[in-house]
Amino acid sequence: MHTRPTFGYHQDVVTGMMDAREPFGEVETFIDEAAALDQDEKAVLWLLAWSSRDGPVQRREAMAMLNSLALGRTSG
């Protein structure tokens, strides 16, 4: 009998990856590929990972996303 990984397992892996300073893209890939989870659970894990990042990194990347979105709207 095969047991599906629990949400707690995924939470522990995400926390461990962030503690080990794995690249954020790898954490996102792990979350995206977690077939056993629904979209709400994946969103919570992504928020957990995002909140584990340093504040300046969060702000820099958020501003980059905003600028990219703004450029996309003005060029279309």
- How do the domains of the chain map onto residue ranges? 7-74
Provide the whole-model pTM: 0.77
Backbone angles phi, psi at 33, to 5 degrees: -90, 5
Spatial contact of 14 and 25, defined as CB atoms under 8 Å apart:
no
CA dihedral over 33, 39, 45, 50, signed as positive or negative: positive
pLDDT at position 2 is: 67
Mean pLDDT by 10 residues, the chain (76 residues): 85 97 95 93 95 90 89 73
Give me the pLDDT at residue 61, please.
87
φ/ψ of residue 60, rounded to 5 = -60, -45
What's the pLDDT score for residue 32? 95
